[in-house]
């Protein structure tokens, strides 16, 4: 029986220490070696003063050590806090301060980002693998971990239990500050145990690890694979943007279980040439985090017909709460239902009086079960708003229910269909974004007196945030400068891709915002965007458009500077960039050309375009 996450590793290593646990490129790590590495990291953490209940930061790309670090933090009694690699320094600092971190594990790819974050925080950190020579950092090199990576190192065992804090997932908050969602070990394990039983996940399965550590959906890959003693196949972050190479990895690594946000799968449909490939090992494809457009899912299932497909629904506060195994797609473009409650969860839709709605009725979805969060980290008032005491249907007993904010229709088969939101939180690239928070950040700019935001979905691209503002009299601003202001405190997926600067907001006869009118005004700016980004030379056009994407100047980036590895653009930026290049230069970027080396630098992009326009 497992009482904490690291007990999953201990059990698997005792069962078969030579069995493969992780695959990272050509490297294969056994369960015995992984358990030993975890114990080595846990030993160093305890030496650095980590104690039960302490929060420990994780600022690492997907790697053998990042996976080991998550379990090691648990073994040392701590709770892991993953940093969003797309978050600006001020937001990383806000997480460091809010979680009261004293210790962080970091890899060499995030040294500069950590140093930039500490410019916004006064905390002193013990950092494993950190940079040296900084007044706020006491660095312990990874070589110290290597010294303890032996069978002779005593086992760290602190009696961690199910009720101990396991993780803080930070998500969007209405005040402009991120809020931590606190889960204990039982919360995490209950979802893992349900998934293994529900989907017949097995020891011979190979799970793609494609989700970032800071994103709550990562539990499915990380912990389910270890629970069954399967193999976790690490997918490099940079590969996610290039579907052809990603598809090749899935085939070569014999991945049998996949779980991601729909955006990654849509990329595979559009650019992965799936019809020309065979995926004999792939038996299950799961997706969650946002709605999957039915036309894209239909294309995916036609191109890769072998696996079972499953739509999963959940929140950061509850993990997966509902699922829908897809036997038949709805007609046309109708959305998939979220399905019925997981076996360990109760779902209820209630009206404004908190009374359960009948079949066919619409209400807010409420969730209860052991996978629900403890609460928002040190935000008791916000927790009290989100978790309410209400009767269990058919019983006089009161129970704690989480208010999801999702409006659903109760279906006759016991499932649910989402029809909207009861609040202003929306899903963007699988992440929950509070539009009120984006508006508040815009209003924090002294130049802005009014701000409004909305989500735009168009064509093949995923949803993104757009905004409109009014400025104070006598001041000036640009769309790019306002986007840069938001980017200083919010992750990239929450930054408006466009900000329309208006003299007046459209209003209704009652003086309220006319949101439809605002959306139309922003659409005018969007239609002119690509024309403004054009230039006489491919280099000028590419740099101008990337500047639009990042919302600022590219003065610090030379033409041979790393675009992807340097953090200038991500996978969704590349989708937009390709659409711009094809329209601006009247070229068709084939799937053969849609590879990492053609997008690594501005110079590489220009060479690709030149080769196409010379034909």
Q: What is the DSSP letter of 255?
A: -
User: Residue 508 in contact with residue 517, Cβ under 8 Å?
Assistant: no
pLDDT digits (tens, 9 = 90+) for 125-160: 999 999 999 999 999 999 999 999 999 999 999 999
Poorest-confidence range of 66-70, 192-196, 231-235, 570-574?
A: 570-574
- CB neighbour list of residue 341: distance below 8 Å, 6 or more residues apart: 321, 322, 347, 414
In this predicted model, which residue has the larger pLDDT, 179 or 553?
A: 179
The lowest-confidence range among 288-302, 437-451, 456-470, 578-592 is: 456-470
Amino acid 550: pLDDT? 67
Over residues 62-66, the mean pLDDT reads 97
State yes or no: pLDDT of 532 exceeds 70. Answer: no
DSSP line for 210-230: -S-TTSGGGHHHHHHHHHHT-
Q: Is the pLDDT of residue 241 over 50?
A: yes
SS3 136: coil
Share of the chain above pLDDT 90, in %: 61
Residues in the chain: 615
At 447, the pLDDT band (50, 70, 90 cuts) reads very high
CB 415 within 8 A of CB 325: no
Helix, strand, coil in percent for the chain, rounding step 5 = 35, 25, 40
Fold of 536-613: 1.10.1200
- Check if the beta carbon of residue 307 is closer than 8 Å to that of residue 317: no
Give kind and range of the element (H or E) at residue 137: strand 137-140
Residues sharing a CB contact under 8 Å with residue 369, sequence separation 6 or more, in sequence order: 190, 318, 321, 342, 344, 345, 346
Residue 285 has pLDDT above 80, yes or no: yes
pLDDT at 567: 72
pLDDT tens digits, one per residue of 69-105: 999 999 999 999 999 988 889 999 999 999 999 999 9
Q: Can you read off the two tokens belonging to residue 500?
A: 């329309």
Instruction: Give the pTM.
Output: 0.84
Region 427-529: CATH code:
3.30.300.30
Backbone angles phi, psi at 388, to 5 degrees: -125, 155
Residue 2 in this model has a pLDDT that exceeds 70 = no
| Neighbouring-strand partners of residue 432 | 427
- Among residues 374, 492, 379, which one has the least CA distance to residue 98? 379
Report the distance separating Cα 154 and Cα 444, nearest Å: 52
287 strand-pairing partners: 260, 311
Residue 557 has pLDDT above 90, yes or no: no
> Cα separation of 550 and 301, whole Å?
34
Place of tokens 């690239």: 429
259: closest CA among 230, 229, 296, 289? 289
Is the separation of the CB atoms in 571 and 241 below 8 Å? yes
**Both ends of the chain: CA-CA distance in Å?**
65
Residue 535 pLDDT grade (very low, low, confident, very high; cuts 50, 70, 90): very low
Vertex 224, ends 377 and 96: CA angle to 5°?
25
Q: What is the mean pLDDT of the chain?
A: 89
Q: How far is CA 364 from CA 172, 222, 247, 422, in A?
A: 20, 31, 38, 7
Torsional sign, CA 163, 79, 389, 396: negative
Selected residue with higher pLDDT from 565 and 281:
281
pLDDT band, very low/low/confident/very high, at 612 (cuts 50, 70, 90): confident
The secondary structure element, H or E, covering residue 608 is helix 602-613
pLDDT digits (tens, 9 = 90+) for 345-357: 999 999 999 999 9
Q: Which of 171, 226, 161, 231 is nearest to 195 (CA)?
A: 226
Identify the pLDDT of residue 422.
Answer: 75
The pLDDT-based confidence of 400 (bands split at 50, 70, 90) is very high
Across 185-339, where does the E strand assignment appear? 206-209, 231-234, 257-260, 284-287, 308-315, 319-325
Give the architecture (CATH level 2) of 5-234: 3-Layer(aba) Sandwich (3.40)
- What was the pLDDT predicted at 80? 98
Residue ranges of domains in the chain: 5-234, 427-529, 536-613
Residue 533's pLDDT band (cuts 50, 70, 90): very low
Helix locations, 488-592, DSSP H: 515-533, 538-550, 571-585
């Amino acid at each position: 029986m497992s009482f904490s996450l690291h007990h999953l590793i201990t059990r698997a290593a005792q069962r078969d220490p030579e069995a493969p646990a992780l695959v990272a490129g050509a490297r294969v790590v056994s369960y015995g070696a992984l358990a030993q590495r975890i114990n080595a990291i846990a030993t160093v953490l305890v030496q650095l003063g980590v104690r039960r209940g302490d929060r420990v930061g994780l600022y690492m790309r997907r790697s053998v050590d990042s996976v080991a670090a998550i379990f090691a933090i648990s073994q040392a009694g701590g709770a892991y806090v993953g940093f969003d690699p797309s978050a600006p320094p001020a937001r990383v600092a806000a997480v460091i301060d809010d979680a009261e971190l004293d210790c962080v594990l970091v890899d060499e790819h995030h040294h500069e980002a950590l140093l930039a974050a500490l410019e916004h925080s006064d905390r002193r950190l013990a950092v494993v693998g950190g940079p040296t020579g900084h007044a706020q950092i006491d660095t312990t090199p990874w070589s110290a971990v290597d010294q303890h990576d032996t069978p002779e190192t005593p086992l760290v065992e602190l009696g961690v239990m199910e009720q101990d804090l396991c993780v803080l997932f930070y998500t969007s908050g209405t005040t402009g500050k991120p809020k931590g969602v606190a889960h204990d070990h039982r919360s995490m394990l209950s979802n893992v145990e349900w998934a293994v039983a529900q989907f017949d996940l097995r020891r011979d399965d190979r799970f793609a690890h494609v989700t970032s550590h800071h994103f709550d959906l990562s539990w499915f890959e990380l912990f389910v694979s270890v629970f069954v003693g399967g193999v976790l196949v690490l997918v490099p972050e940079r590969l996610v943007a290039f579907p052809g190479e990603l598809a090749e990895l899935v085939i070569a690594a014999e991945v049998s279980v996949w779980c991601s946000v729909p955006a990654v799968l849509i990329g595979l449909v559009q650019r992965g040439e799936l019809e020309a490939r065979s995926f004999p090992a792939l038996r299950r494809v799961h997706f969650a985090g946002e709605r999957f457009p039915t036309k894209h899912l239909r294309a995916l299932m036609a191109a890769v017909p072998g696996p079972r497909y499953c739509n999963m629904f959940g929140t950061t506060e509850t993990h997966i709460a509902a699922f829908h195994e897809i036997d038949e797609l709805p007609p046309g473009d109708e959305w998939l239902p979220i399905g019925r409650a997981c076996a360990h969860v109760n779902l209820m839709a209630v009206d404004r009086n908190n009374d359960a709605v009948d079949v066919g009725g619409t209400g807010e979805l409420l969730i209860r079960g052991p996978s629900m969060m403890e609460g928002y980290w040190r935000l008791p008032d916000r927790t009290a708003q989100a978790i309410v005491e209400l009767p269990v249907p058919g019983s006089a007993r009161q129970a704690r229910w989480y208010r999801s904010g999702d409006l659903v229709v109760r279906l006759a088969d016991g499932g649910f269909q989402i029809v909207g939101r009861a609040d202003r939180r929306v899903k963007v690239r699988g992440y929950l974004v509070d539009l009120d928070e984006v508006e508040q950040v815009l209003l924090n700019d002294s130049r802005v007196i009014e701000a409004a935001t909305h989500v735009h979905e168009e064509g093949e691209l995923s949803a993104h945030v757009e905004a409109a503002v009014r400025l104070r009299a006598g001041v000036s601003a640009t769309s790019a400068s306002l986007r840069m202001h938001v980017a200083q405190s919010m992750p990239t997926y929450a930054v408006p891709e466009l900000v329309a600067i208006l003299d007046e907001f459209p209003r209704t006869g009652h003086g309220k915002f006319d949101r439809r009118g605002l959306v139309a005004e922003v659409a005018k700016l969007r239609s002119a965007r690509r024309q403004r980004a054009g230039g006489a030379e491919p280099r000028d056009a590419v740099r101008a458009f990337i500047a639009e994407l990042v919302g600022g100047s590219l003065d610090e980036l030379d033409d041979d500077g790393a675009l992807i590895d340097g953090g200038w653009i991500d996978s969704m930026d590349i989708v937009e960039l390709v659409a711009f290049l094809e329209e601006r230069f009247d070229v068709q970027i084939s799937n053969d050309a849609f590879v990492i080396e053609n997008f690594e630098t501005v110079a590489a992009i220009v060479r690709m375009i030149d080769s196409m326009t010379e034909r």
